[in-house]
Amino acid sequence: MPEVTKPAPTFTVRRAQTSDVPWIKELVEPLVQRRILLGKELVVFYEAVQEFYIALDDEGNRIGCGALHVFWDDLGEVRTLAVADDWLGKGVGHALLEAVELEARRLGLTRLFCLTFEVGFFERNGFKASPLGLVDPDVYSELVRSPDDGVAEFLDLARVKQNTLGNTRMLKHLTS
């Protein structure tokens, strides 16, 4: 009997809208419970909605999200990259990461970092494990003033240690 191959599932990526925010929180909550992602209040997701991208399947169902958070003039963070279980391994995370990288370049960033347990995924996408010293002391002294838990996680501050144990700091240098 001839082998039948199914066409690869397709999806699109767009900027997030406020109506996506409750779904983002719902998607990431199991990852927060497993301490893979930092927990955030719904209001924080609304405040950052302009940082997010949403992946949609052909029927318009949300299947993934990812965000770009600018840290400094040359440095941004890939945040809250998550994909629905049924879509893992089908290129959704890669497409979301491409959207984030494109926006980072548009903004003039030259470096992207992430704090992750998904080391293999980020390595396949050009990231490399990196030490703490991603910013010089003057920038560090500015960043330490931020109330953002993601910034505290980046700086390896004690107040977020329970969420960062075992994750890997990874960096990618962007090219034009």
CATH of the domain at 158: 3.40.630.30
Is 34 a domain residue? yes
Domain that holds residue 42: 11-173
Q: Which residues of the chain have pLDDT under 50?
A: 159, 161-162, 164
Is 2 a domain residue? no
Is 98 a domain residue? yes
pLDDT value of position 35: 82
pLDDT value of position 142: 60
Q: pTM score > 0.75 for this model?
A: yes
Is 1 a domain residue? no
Domain tally for the chain? 1
CA atoms within 13 Å, Cβ hemisphere of 65:
25
Cβ–Cβ < 8 Å for 59, 71: no
Is 17 a domain residue? yes
| d(C-alpha 50, C-alpha 106), whole Å | 15
pLDDT value of position 103: 97
Cβ–Cβ < 8 Å for 13, 67: no
pLDDT value of position 124: 96
Is 5 a domain residue? no
pLDDT value of position 78: 96
Q: Is 80 helix (H, G, I), strand (E, B) or coil?
A: strand
Is 75 a domain residue? yes
Is 114 a domain residue? yes
pLDDT value of position 161: 46
- pLDDT averaged over every residue in the chain: 85
How many other CB atoms are there within 10 angstroms of residue 11's CB atom? 19
pLDDT value of position 129: 87
| d(C-alpha 112, C-alpha 74), whole Å | 9
